[in-house]
Amino acid sequence: MGIHEDARQGTLLGSKLADYIKSNPNIINEQDPEGGLTPLAAATVGGYTEVIKQLLKKGAKVEVLSRDGETPLLLAAWKLNNNRARIIQLLLKETPPDVVDTTCSAAENNTPLIFAVMKRDVESIRLLRRAGASETIPNKDGISAEEMAKNAKEEAEENEDRNEEEKAKAVIRALSPEMEKEGLAKITSMVVSFLNFVVAWVNNTAKGVVRLLYGLDPELDEDLNKALNGPEKPSKAKFVKNVDKFIKDTPLERFFKKKKTYIQELAQKGVELENDKSTPLGNKDLLPKTIKVSLHQQVIYCDDSSSMKREGRWESQKSLVDRITRVTTKILPKGEGVALRFINQDVDDSPNLTQEKITEILKPMKWAPNGNTEIGTYLKSKILEPMVYSKLEPKSFDKPLLISVITDGMPSVEADSVFADAILECGNKLEDAGYPRESVKFLVGQIGTGAQAAAFLERVRKNERIKDLVFCTSDQLDARLKEFRDNEWDLDRWLIETLFEPLKDREIKKDQ
């Protein structure tokens, strides 16, 4: 076999690739005399990610055309069905700006972006637009990516195909990054703002604590009250019915349709929290944050690798989990709780563990001997797949998630990128299914003094691809826990403020 056949078969790796280059340094960019593809183009069409990485590292040029004028980027968008976005991402890192839109007559002058729009590949569209791909360049038929997306939406509306309409809308948003960002912020904020309104309404009927929340957004409260109840002052039972009717066919329905009284019960407990003098969570400045944190399904994802035996890290993590559970379940309705997961060990996978159940699980547990830190791998398999992805197709994803990730080290066995890639994939899958990408947020914190853990968190913090989904706290969690050991009031305040950090950008400015 020659270099081109090895590229087609996915075997052009390591010493084999090095030997080809050693015998002929130019061969890495030469066209196949038979098929016309360059080695990089052949590997792209085959979908061989590792071959593409090694070819690029060895000097393969993404701007070198195959016989019919195709770039590898064009072929990726045109020919691939699996792993398309990942390969486009790899190629774009080495693609000059003036090559991003390169097309050819064999492709009917469809640009890579047009192909991505044809295939409704939102992640690839987003990658190409960020790389400067034009949405207005026409193909052979005079249709641009922008026009194609609008036509698809209009056709879906005409056919009253709700599913296709949602997909078309996601494509249009991905074509306009700024509009996409603004739109998602407003949608996600709608959920939280509506809860604030419900709490204000319950406060008002409870006579006495409306002052706590009414000042957050009086105009929103008044508008919602008129839209929801009209001139009447309904009973609580009538109010619940009104809420059901009001949220129908809105983004709110997706989160609350199977829990008709959830927000009302949560609101009532928020009212009661004012009288709980053992915690500051009912105070004027903290109650709105407590509510917004509690609106999310709490998932506590713990490190149980063997290094957790050092510096008392394991016991500190147990205490931290116990306290997070306590503050985040203060106002949850009966039957609601938190989810607990470990990297190496399996425990009760219920998403609604109570304080008592958490204590029962943690008390006998120890770190996993010889346990590794495959933090990204198990984030996907133990949390994202069962709690998010499995619910997207049947549209049963009914509550946004806040995942608190606690670790004392950097990933082992797996690459650093696996964790960030899992977070990015989560946002994109949500959006593809018609949910706001920020329906799942991540808080990442360090326990212990490990320099490698600090370095890993810093890389996560600086990762532009996931900065809209992740907040990395600069606090060393066990040190802060120790600091507040004798002051539970301040400990509750610190915890709720920390948990609220990833949700901050959900706020709507009053001038919007």
Q: Mean pLDDT across the stretch 146-174?
A: 87
Domain map (residue ranges) of the chain: 3-174, 180-291, 295-501
State the DSSP string of 279-306.
-GGGSTTTHHHHHHHHTSEEEEEE--SG
Length of the chain: 512
Q: Bigger pLDDT: 202 or 86?
A: 86
Residue 443: strand pairing partners: 404, 471
- Characterize the bridge pairing of strands 440-446 and 339-342: unpaired
The answer to whether the CB of 406 falls within 8 A of the CB of 367 is: no
- Nearest CA-CA partner of 426 in 462, 501, 376: 376
DSSP H or E run through 445 = strand 440-446
Q: Mean pLDDT across the stretch 344-366?
A: 93
pLDDT at 244: 56
Q: Mean pLDDT across the stretch 346-374?
A: 90
Cα distances (angstroms) measured from residue 124 to each of 48, 130, 174? 17, 10, 9
Q: Mean pLDDT across the stretch 206-217?
A: 32
pLDDT at 243: 56
CATH architecture entry for 295-501: 3-Layer(aba) Sandwich (3.40)
Q: Is residue 421 over pLDDT 80? A: yes
pLDDT digits (tens, 9 = 90+) for 372-394: 888 999 999 999 999 999 988 77
- Report the sign of the C-alpha dihedral through residues 282, 286, 292, 295, in that order: negative
The answer to whether the CB of 329 falls within 8 A of the CB of 296 is: no
Q: Mean pLDDT across the stretch 129-156?
A: 93
Looking at CATH, the fold of the domain delimited by 3-174 is given as: 1.25.40
Does 3-174 match 295-501 in CATH topology? no
Q: Mean pLDDT across the stretch 158-176?
A: 83
184 pLDDT band, cuts 50/70/90, is very low
161 pLDDT band, cuts 50/70/90, is confident
Q: Mean pLDDT across the stretch 325-353?
A: 90
Cα distances (angstroms) measured from residue 257 to each of 196, 295, 299, 378? 18, 14, 21, 30
pLDDT digits (tens, 9 = 90+) for 227-280: 556 666 655 556 555 655 555 544 455 555 556 566 666 666 766 776 677 888
Distance (Å, rounded) from C-alpha 147 to C-alpha 255? 32
The answer to whether the CB of 476 falls within 8 A of the CB of 449 is: yes
What's the pTM? 0.56
DSSP H or E run through 459 = helix 451-461
Distance (Å, rounded) from C-alpha 176 to C-alpha 402? 27
pLDDT at 138: 96
pLDDT digits (tens, 9 = 90+) for 28-52: 999 999 999 999 999 999 999 899 9
172 pLDDT band, cuts 50/70/90, is confident
pLDDT at 256: 56
pLDDT digits (tens, 9 = 90+) for 283-330: 777 877 887 788 788 999 999 998 898 888 999 999 999 999 998 988
pLDDT at 24: 94
Q: Is 327 exposed, middle or buried (0-12, 13-18, 19+ CB in 10 A)?
A: buried
pLDDT digits (tens, 9 = 90+) for 102-128: 999 999 999 999 999 999 888 889 889
Distance (Å, rounded) from C-alpha 266 to C-alpha 286? 15
Alpha helices in 230-369, H assignment, sequence order: 236-247, 251-256, 262-273, 287-294, 313-328, 355-362
Residues contacting residue 196 through CB under 8 Å, at least 6 positions apart = 213, 216, 217, 220, 221, 288, 291
DSSP helix/strand/coil, 136: coil
Structure tokens at 114: 């047009």
The answer to whether the CB of 110 falls within 8 A of the CB of 70 is: no
Q: Is residue 169 over pLDDT 60? A: yes
pLDDT at 170: 79
Q: Mean pLDDT across the stretch 55-61?
A: 94
What values do phi and psi take at 369, rounded to 5? -60, 135
pLDDT at 511: 31
- Nearest CA-CA partner of 430 in 419, 420, 441: 441
Structure tokens at 401: 């998630």
